[in-house]
């Protein structure tokens, strides 16, 4: 065999070895990543499960030992409302009746420019025009400083 053929074969073996190494590394990464992800999910599930057990025990104690038997639905809804209040001032839990009332009070048509505005650097500024509204049709753009409309 001449030197060129030997070099070609050496390169093929090197490429083959490189392919096997890369494929092995990719396979190992996928397996290790998947396993680590499953372990993390399992730990998260275990932590949530522990917290739910604590809640369940507290709920049972209240139901069993409170002076007058409380309404279980009121307790549950109160707990959910409290949970939502810990998130941010905009998150809220509504029971079915409250949600229906809110939907019926917000249905219908509303008039106006269709523009969201705010104060930036002490100047009234367009945050965003709403699609299909008079402000949108007038070509008002987000970021514009507005002293008047029209």
Contact status, residue 134 vs residue 142, Cβ threshold 8 Å: no
* pTM score: 0.44
pLDDT tens-digit readout, 33-61: 666 666 667 777 788 889 999 999 999 99
Contact status, residue 114 vs residue 93, Cβ threshold 8 Å: no
* pLDDT of 150 strictly over 70: no
In this predicted structure, what is the pLDDT of residue 34?
65
Query: What is the residue-averaged pLDDT of the chain?
Result: 77
pLDDT tens-digit readout, 73-120: 999 999 999 999 999 888 888 888 888 887 777 665 556 778 887 777
* pLDDT of 4 strictly over 70: no
CA distance 112 to 134: 8
87-102 core/surface letters (b: 16 or more CB in 10 A; e: else): eeeeeeeeeeeeeeee
**110 CB burial (10 A radius; 0-12, 13-18, 19+):** exposed
* pLDDT of 123 strictly over 70: yes
Strands 115-120 and 123-129, bridge-based pairing: antiparallel
- Angle at CA of residue 148, ends 145 and 150, nearest 5°: 110
In this predicted structure, what is the pLDDT of residue 64?
92
In this predicted structure, what is the pLDDT of residue 145?
73
């Amino acid at each position: 065999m001449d030197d060129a053929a030997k070099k070609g074969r050496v390169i093929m073996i090197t490429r083959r070895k490189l392919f096997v190494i890369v494929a092995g590394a990719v396979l190992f990464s996928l397996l290790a990543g998947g396993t680590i992800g499953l372990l993390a999910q399992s730990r998260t599930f275990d932590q949530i499960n522990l917290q739910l057990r604590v809640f369940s025990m507290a709920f049972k104690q209240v139901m069993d030992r409170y002076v007058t038997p409380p309404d279980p639905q009121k307790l549950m809804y109160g707990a959910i409302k409290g949970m939502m209040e810990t998130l941010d001032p905009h998150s809220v839990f509504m029971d079915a009746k409250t949600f229906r009332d809110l939907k019926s009070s917000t249905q219908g048509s509303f008039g106006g420019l269709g523009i969201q505005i705010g104060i930036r650097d002490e100047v009234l500024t367009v945050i965003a025009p709403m699609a299909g509204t008079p402000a949108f049709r007038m070509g008002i753009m987000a970021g514009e400083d507005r002293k008047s409309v029209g």
